[in-house]
Structures are given as structure tokens and as C-alpha cells.
Structure 1
Amino acid sequence: MDFYIKKIVIHQFSPDDTELVLADHLLQITPKIDEYFRKKLTKVFSDEAKRGQFDADNIFMSKLTDDFLESSVHVSQLWKEEFIISENQKTNDLVFIGFEKDGIEHFAFLRLSLRESLIHSGDSESPLKTTQNSLPSAAQTPDEALVVNLQTKQYYLIEKRIKHNGAFSNYFSENVLSVQPEQSVKKSIKLVEQAAQKVADQFNRDDFAFQSKLKSAMFTNLEEDQELSPEKLADQLFDDNLTARLSFVDQLKEAIPAPVKVSDIDHSRQIKKLESQKLSLSNGIELIVPNRVYEDVESVEFIQNDNGTYSILIKNIEDIQNK
């Protein structure tokens, strides 16, 4: 993904006195800083992100004005008012980024929990010192993040629940943003798998053939159609049973009321997990078979024997290598 970072400001929250240390100027963007935060932004456009669109009268959006520094202060204060009740507080950098993606202005808020680490100082007598202010690696997903397309008001959200009085809550979406985001693609896939498993159990379909069919169907939905549709999956998985199809869609109608689009995020991790069938056999043999091979009867054939056991026939192999 191509980002053009235009401005950054970093405020800090300290758990010692639960106060904000507010910056009064923008950060100078060096090549290293640019690279670090571009990698962080990439992590927000992922299968872990919840998505949605702000309403025109959303209070949070009213905090975002043409004054970038002032907007960052308002959002930091709004965030602190809700986060302060958390039972597990650490020092956090509150990073605000103004950037362009595909020529469109975006606003980002990243919460980065600082780490304790050892550093090598120039002191010859005590060269190793502990610092409490190490940023997480660029490859790590931010602890929490919000990216807003300022043109369409669409948002991408990474959030963590906080614990207060023994209960957990999605304080960020519920209290800071006042929104109800869609499920993330990662969570949607998990819900689909659970619903399919439950329906398969009810109709005595739960065997390795059904699990393979489920994996292949989800792969096709994501790779070719660029979406995850409960209705389409129901037709593919339970094509000969209307009751099973209706039951599957009904179980998902609240969590996934509409097809989940994936064209605007990096969903390669999910594609990687679904692109092959991984079979573990009772005799200890394990097979990894790409979907295109698995579904080709000229390459692989599964035979159910009269005694209830299975045989697997692998055909037309030109070469075998020992790895």
C-alpha cells in the first residue's frame, strides 16, 4: 500500500499521574520515521481491522478540524477520559498522522504501548541501561488504531477491550467513537467456520469431506469474489438441504448481516491458510494438498472402502523429491 505521510504529532499518556504530556509542535519526519509509521499504517489495513462509516452527526468526527495539532489534542483528551478507568495502564504514545492514500486525505490515531528494554549506552562502567520508553517494532500491529478516510468518512479500527470493575468493554468503539463497527474479516471467518460446524453436526455432515468443502468454498469467496457471503456459502455448502441453508444464514444474520468485502484490506494471511487442504491421517501420514489439486479427480481420489476405511489415490505424479 502506498502512503504519503504529511504530518505527525506524538502526545504521551503516563499512568503515574494519569496525565497527558502534550506536544506543541509537529514531529520532523526523517526517512526512518517515515518508514516506521508507514509500516504501522499498513498493519491497520488488515484482516484484524473492524470497519464502518461515521454518520454525518458523529461527535468524534466533529473533533477533526483543519487544525491538525488542535484535533490531535481534542482526540487525546477524549481518549484519556475513557481509558483512564482501565485497570492495566502503561505509558502510551498517542501518535497522530495526516497522510494521503491513493491521493485521498486520511487521519490516523495510533496507540503504542511503550516497552521496557535494555540499551547499550556510552558509559564504560555501566554500559547497559534500562529504558522505559522503547517503541514496539515496526512489524507489530498497533495496540489500538483508527484510520479515517476524510472524504468518505469510512474508518478502519483496531481495538482492545479494557477491564474495569471485573468486566471487559470495547471502550474505544463504544465510548470514544460512538460507533458499532462490522466484525473484522478474521473474526468473520471464525464465525462462519463455527456456524458451518454447528449446522454440519445437526445434519450429520461433519466429516473430512465437509471440512475440505468449507475451506475450499471460503477460499473461492475471498480469492475470486473478494467477499465473504453467508448466503453464497450456504448454497455451496448445503446445496441439497434447504433447512440447513436457512439455519446457516440465520445463525450469521446478526454478526454478518451483509457480505464482508475484502478488496480494501490485506487479507493474504487468510488466503494462505485456506489455499491448501491439510489432512492428518490415522496412520501418522500428513498431507498438504493445494485446492486446485484436491478438487481435480485426475490428481487425487478419495475412496471409501467396504469396511469403512478410506484410501487415497494420488495420480499422475511426474517427479518426487525428498525435502
Structure 2
Amino acid sequence: MEIYLKQAILHLIDREAGDPVFSQVPLDLSAEYIRDYLTKKIQKLSSAQTKTGRLVADSVVSRMLATATDDFIAFSEAFVKHWYQMYQGSEDAPNSDVFIVLYEEDALAQVAFIKVNYKEAYTHFTDLNEEGLANRLILNRAILAGKAQKPDEGMTIDLKTLDYELIEKKYQFSGDKRYYFSTQVIESVPRPSLDDHLSVIKKAAKKMSEKFETPTYDVLANIQEAVYDTIEETGTLDTTEIAQKVFKENVSARMAFQEEMTEKGVIEQTPLVKEVKEISEKKFGKQKLKLSNGIELIVPLDVYRNPDLIEFVNHPDGTLSVTIKNVEEIVNRL
């Protein structure tokens, strides 16, 4: 995705100090390290844990968004104030920095809310006093995670369609651990993430394998392959197609699986984050197998599908053999 940063601002959330410290000056986007940091953080908001949805047109946040391009600084402060009203009610929500970013993605106007929690780290400090030059070790309690890490929480919003992608965390409110961002900040019920859906699909598949006496490892491996294939083909999680690929001629198992999907609220073609194909390639492009004897295998899908390269053999006594074939070289990576 092509990201063009237009404006960005940083607000500080130090809960011990009280209200947020609002910047009155945007970040300098002519600095390459700032552009690089923010661009990477926006990209990391699309992940297998990201939820998707659409804001209600007359919600508080939707009304705020109407001013994002005309008065960006005022908008950013209003947005963070609204968010902080909910956030400050938590007993365990940490201090953080919040970036508000106005940008274009493939020429479409977007706003990003990026929250990066503080972490502790050690650094040096050079002090010159009457005794001379002293190099000291100090503990900094407000260090931000690097650009390669995804934000602790955040969202992107399309200013035209109000479609959003959201990463949210549970924090404790009055002793109850719960999500607050979707329920209180944006007042929207998002669709479950890819990981959420996959968890439901795997549980249902395992249940079907036990009911219809099919090897669990085989069904789960086929599920991963089917999920990968349907995302590559359609950009969605097509449960009908997954059932067809996994259970093939077993009509009873196929129908039972789809009934389980309906019961658990997984819709037939689930829309996912924009970068889902790239995420799928990394997450599902390899089968990760752990054998009962302690051997672990990571097998690329194209190899897993090829019986000339790897073969799984079921024996009458219930054991299983794995044969790896046509290997030209073995490299030991310590």
C-alpha cells in the first residue's frame, strides 16, 4: 500500500500528571526518521489480530472526522480527549504516547490513531560538574517501541466510507477486564479478526474430525491450506469453500461444519483487512508440525502438497510415519 503522510501530531499520556499533554505544533514530516516510524506503525495496524468495521455516520467520532482535514490540530486534540475520557477509567491502562496522523493511502484520505505504550530501558547520560566529566547510567521509563513493532492499540479510518481497521486491548475497569475502544470510544461492534475466526474454524474442524473419525492433524493441516487458498483466491474467509476443500466427498461432515460456523456467527464470506493476502502468506504459507517424538517440522505449502517431497503414512496400529524425499542437501543452522 502506498502511504503519503500529510500531517501528524504527538500527544503525551502521563496518567500520573493528570490530563494529556497536548502538542500545539505538528511533527516535522520532512524528517525521514519520523516519516519512516509513522509509516511502519500504520502498516503494522493491518495484522491477523486486526478487527474491521464501519463507523455509524452520526457517532461522536464520525462527527469529529468531518473537521480532520480543515483543522487537524483541533481535531486531534478533540479525538484524544474523547478517547482519554474512557481510557482514564481503567485501573491498569499504562502511560503512552498517542500519534494522530492524517494521510493518504492510494489517494484515499485516512486518519490513524496510534498508541504506543512506554517501556523501561537503560541509557547513558554525560554530566559535567565540579568534579569533572561523568558518564552515568540512567533508567528511562518513557521509551517507545521500535518501528518494527505493531502499535499497542490503534485504528485507521477511511474519511469517505468510515470503514476502519482496529487493534484493541482489554484493560481493567472496576475490576472487570474488557475491551473499551470499540464499545465506548467508537461505539461500534467490529467484525472479529482473522485470528478470531481461525480459532473458531479450527475448533469446529477438530470437533468434526472427532465426530467423523478423521485424523485431527490431517484435518487441521487441510484447514490451514484451505484458509490460505480461499484468501488468495477471494480476499475473504469463504467458509463454504473451506468446507468443500477440507471435507470433500464427506457431505455429512461438510454440512455439520457449516452449521457449526453459522451457530458460532462466522458469516459465509467474511471481509478482512486490506493487507490480508500478505498476512496470509506469512501466517499460513507454511505448515508447522510437532510430532509426538519431539521432532518439529516447518513445511512450505507447495512442499506439503507434493507427495514426491513429503509423505504421511498411516499404519494399522494407529501410528504414523513421515517420509521426507528427494533432499539434495541438509544445512545445520545453529
**Is the pair's TM-score, using the shorter chain for normalization, greater than 0.5?**
yes
Match among 209, 227, 252 for residue 200 of structure 1: 209
Match among 174, 187, 190 for residue 181 of structure 1: 190
Q: Distance in 2 between matches of 1:35 and 1:300?
A: 42
Q: Any idea what the Cα deviations from partners look like across 1:197-249, whole Å, max 9, x if unmatched?
A: 12222222243322322222122122333221112112222233444323322
Query: Who is 1:296 aligned against?
Result: 306
The one-letter code matched in structure 1 to 2:116 is L
* Deviation for aligned residue 1:313: 4.9
Q: CA RMSD in A?
A: 2.4
Q: Distance in 2 between matches of 1:176 and 1:131?
A: 30
**Which segment drifts farther, 300-309 or 90-99?**
300-309
**Which segment drifts farther, 223-232 or 134-143?**
223-232
The one-letter code matched in structure 2 to 1:91 is N
Query: Who is 2:40 aligned against?
Result: 39
Query: Who is 1:274 aligned against?
Result: 284
Give the 3-state SS of the residue equivalent to 2:134 in structure 1: coil
Q: Distance in 1 between matches of 2:316 and 2:141?
A: 67
Say if 1:322 and 1:12 are closer, same or farther in 2 by CA, change over 3 A.
Answer: closer
The one-letter code matched in structure 2 to 1:161 is K
Match among 94, 108, 120 for residue 98 of structure 2: 94
* Deviation for aligned residue 1:312: 4.5
Q: Distance in 2 between matches of 1:311 and 1:163?
A: 48
Q: Is the 8 A contact 1:183 1:255 kept in 2?
A: no
Q: Which runs of 5+ in 1 are unaligned?
A: none
Q: Distance in 2 between matches of 1:136 and 1:308?
A: 48
Query: Who is 1:114 aligned against?
Result: 118
1:191 aligns with 2:200: yes
Query: Who is 2:157 aligned against?
Result: 148
Q: Is the 8 A contact 1:91 1:113 kept in 2?
A: yes
* Deviation for aligned residue 1:305: 3.8
Q: Any idea what the Cα deviations from partners look like across 1:103-155, whole Å, max 9, x if unmatched?
A: 11111111121223222222132522233322221111111111111122111
* Deviation for aligned residue 1:94: 1.9
Q: Any idea what the Cα deviations from partners look like across 1:24-69, whole Å, max 9, x if unmatched?
A: 2222221111111111111012222111112322221101213111
1:80 aligns with 2:84: yes
Paired residues in the alignment total 322
Q: TM-score, normalised by structure 2?
A: 0.87
The one-letter code matched in structure 2 to 1:22 is F
The one-letter code matched in structure 1 to 2:104 is E
Give the 3-state SS of the residue equivalent to 1:122 in structure 2: strand
Q: Distance in 2 between matches of 1:105 and 1:303?
A: 54
Q: Distance in 2 between matches of 1:318 and 1:176?
A: 55
Q: Distance in 2 between matches of 1:90 and 1:21?
A: 15
The one-letter code matched in structure 2 to 1:179 is S
Equivalence map 1:157-306=2 (5 Å): 157-253=166-262, 254-262=264-272, 264-282=274-292, 285-306=295-316
Query: Who is 1:68 aligned against?
Result: 72
* Deviation for aligned residue 1:183: 1.0
Question: Post-superposition, which runs of at least 4 consecutive aligned residues in structure 1 deviate over 6 A?
Answer: none
Q: Distance in 2 between matches of 1:312 and 1:114?
A: 47
Say if 1:69 and 1:285 are closer, same or farther in 2 by CA, change over 3 A.
Answer: closer
Q: Any idea what the Cα deviations from partners look like across 1:144-193, whole Å, max 9, x if unmatched?
A: 11111112211111111111122122110000101011111122222211
Give the 3-state SS of the residue equivalent to 1:56 in structure 2: coil
Q: Is the 8 A contact 1:7 1:99 kept in 2?
A: yes
Q: Distance in 2 between matches of 1:226 and 1:88?
A: 37
Q: TM-score, normalised by structure 1?
A: 0.89
Percent identity (aligned): 29
Q: Is the 8 A contact 1:222 1:271 kept in 2?
A: no
* Deviation for aligned residue 1:252: 2.6
Say if 1:158 and 1:281 are closer, same or farther in 2 by CA, change over 3 A.
Answer: closer
Say if 1:125 and 1:268 are closer, same or farther in 2 by CA, change over 3 A.
Answer: same
